């Protein structure tokens, strides 16, 4: 039985569906702070509570005879982490410590952890490999790096097989019912602006990149979910201690995303150029050779799939059928 913490969230619902599709039995723990349990497949039990409650976690591990944890629960908004660092360290770092303590007490010896490309900060080379220097620029990124250290040190003495997956920029939707409702990241923020009839904001166009805007590695949430199914099997097969980048390995600029959103929505919107956002690296793109060579996983969706699927789900979530609705909303 797999336990997915945060399994009712945007990424969690995709991961739970992928694990179920791969034949795994799954139970979800979620505090429902921004989860949507109604989006989970029928028959998936949801235990409502916080990973910070170690006794609760032990009860769930015991009740469902869990043999592997997929730990996604945590806060992930960079800007919020800057204004609420204590909350982020508590939720992300103490949450990880609590999950590991429960696992050790119940002799659960396998875990896959949701880490982040935010641990890298700026990337000196064309792409970031897993052995690249880590210099996170936000409390969010620092909590993810500390969680990796916790995991590595505790797993070493407790004989836990583990993998940490460094997510790059996750977007898209695996179905019209699976929109990213959290308007923190670029793609949903562009859609929100379209709906409001406003010009989306480009944070800076003077970076040392081909079009002057920041470059990121956008990965479809369905590809990310498939990576979890692959890694869950790997940590069960052999004692593992591995960190993997999970991205598509290709960069796309903010303007590339804007143009993809015009194409997906059918709305010929303009955008406005604002000052660069403090702390934004010019380029963060994954070197994905390790997960490909060791586990045979690669992303299959491109930027058009990502933004197109995201728009379909975004439109469905507000009852629209697509571009005509957004024009009407202007």
Nearer to ligand WQD, 107 or 211 (CB): 211
The site that binds ligand WQD (CB under 6 A) totals a number of residues, namely 20
C-alpha span between 284 and 265 (Å, rounded): 26
Determine if 176 is a binding residue for ligand WQD (CB under 6 A). no
Span of 37-45, 46-54, 111-119, 124-132 interacting with ligand WQD by CB under 6 A: 111-119
In whole angstroms, the minimum distance from the beta carbon of 195 to ligand WQD comes to: 14
Determine if 117 is a binding residue for ligand WQD (CB under 6 A). yes
Span of 32-40, 114-122, 239-247, 290-298 interacting with ligand WQD by CB under 6 A: 114-122
Which residue in 50, 54, 185, 209 binds ligand WQD (CB under 6 A)?
185
Determine if 76 is a binding residue for ligand WQD (CB under 6 A). yes
In whole angstroms, the minimum distance from the beta carbon of 33 to ligand WQD comes to: 17
Q: Which of 271, 309, 277 is nearest to 170 (CA)?
A: 309
Nearer to ligand WQD, 62 or 198 (CB): 198
In whole angstroms, the minimum distance from the beta carbon of 248 to ligand WQD comes to: 13
Helix and strand numbers, DSSP H then E, in the chain: 12, 14
Site for ligand WQD in 199-228 (CB under 6 A): 201-203, 214, 216
C-alpha span between 134 and 142 (Å, rounded): 9
The two tokens of residue 235 are: 């940590």
Q: Clarify whether 64 is annotated catalytic.
A: no
Is 43 buried (19+), middle (13-18) or exposed (0-12) by CB count in 10 A? exposed
In whole angstroms, the minimum distance from the beta carbon of 130 to ligand WQD comes to: 15
C-alpha span between 126 and 112 (Å, rounded): 27
Nearer to ligand WQD, 66 or 118 (CB): 118
C-alpha span between 142 and 81 (Å, rounded): 10
CB environment 7-16: b (16+ within 10 A), e (fewer) = bbbbbbbbbb
In whole angstroms, the minimum distance from the beta carbon of 104 to ligand WQD comes to: 26
Region for residue 65 given its phi and psi (left: phi exceeds 0; alpha: psi -120 to 50; beta: otherwise)? left
Nearer to ligand WQD, 50 or 201 (CB): 201
Q: Could you give the string, one character per residue 236-255, with x where binding to ligand WQD holds by CB under 6 A and - elsewhere?
A: ------------------x-
**Catalytic residue, candidates 10, 88, 120, 140:** 140
C-alpha span between 140 and 118 (Å, rounded): 8
Is the Cβ–Cβ distance between 283 and 251 less than 8 Å? Answer: yes
Determine if 277 is a binding residue for ligand WQD (CB under 6 A). yes
In whole angstroms, the minimum distance from the beta carbon of 138 to ligand WQD comes to: 7
Which residue in 10, 113, 167, 314 binds ligand WQD (CB under 6 A)?
167
Q: Are strands 215-216 and 283-284 parallel, antiparallel or unpaired?
A: parallel
Q: Are strands 161-167 and 215-216 parallel, antiparallel or unpaired?
A: unpaired
C-alpha span between 243 and 291 (Å, rounded): 9
Q: Give contact residues for ligand WQD (rule: CB under 6 A).
A: 76, 78, 116-118, 167-170, 185-186, 189, 201-203, 214, 216, 254, 277, 280
Which residues are designated catalytic?
Answer: 140
């Amino acid at each position: 039985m797999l336990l997915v913490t945060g399994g009712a969230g945007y990424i969690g619902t995709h991961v739970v569906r992928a694990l179920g599709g791969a034949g795994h039995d799954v139970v979800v723990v979620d505090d429902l702070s921004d989860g949507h349990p109604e989006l989970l497949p029928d028959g998936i039990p949801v235990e409502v509570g916080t990973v910070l409650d170690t006794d609760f976690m032990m009860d769930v591990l015991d009740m469902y005879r869990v043999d592997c944890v997929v730990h996604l629960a945590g806060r992930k908004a960079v800007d919020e982490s800057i204004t609420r660092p204590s909350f982020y360290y508590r939720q992300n770092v103490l949450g990880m410590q609590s999950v590991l303590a429960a696992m050790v007490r119940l002799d659960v010896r396998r875990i896959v952890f949701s880490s982040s490309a935010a641990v890298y900060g700026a990337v000196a080379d064309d792409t970031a490999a897993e052995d690249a220097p880590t210099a996170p620029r936000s409390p969010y990124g620092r909590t993810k790096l500390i969680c990796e250290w916790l995991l590595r040190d505790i797993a070493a003495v407790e004989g836990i097989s583990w993998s940490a997956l460094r997510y790059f920029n996750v977007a898209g939707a695996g179905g019209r019912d699976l929109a990213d409702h959290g308007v923190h990241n670029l793609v949903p923020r562009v859609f929100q602006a379209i709906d409001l009839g406003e010009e989306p904001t480009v944070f800076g166009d003077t970076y040392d990149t081909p079009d002057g805007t920041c470059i990121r590695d956008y990965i479809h949430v369905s590809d990310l979910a498939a990576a979890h199914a692959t890694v869950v099997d790997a940590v069960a097969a052999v004692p593992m201690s591995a960190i993997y980048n999970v991205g598509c390995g290709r960069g796309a600029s903010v303007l590339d995303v804007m143009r993809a959103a015009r194409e997906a929505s059918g709305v010929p919107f303009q955008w406005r150029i604002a000052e660069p956002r403090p702390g934004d690296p010019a380029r963060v793109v994954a070197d994905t050779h390790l997960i490909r060579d060791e586990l045979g996983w690669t992303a299959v969706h491109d930027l058009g799939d990502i933004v197109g699927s995201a728009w379909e789900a975004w439109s469905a979530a507000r009852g629209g059928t697509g571009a005509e609705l957004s024009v009407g909303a202007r």
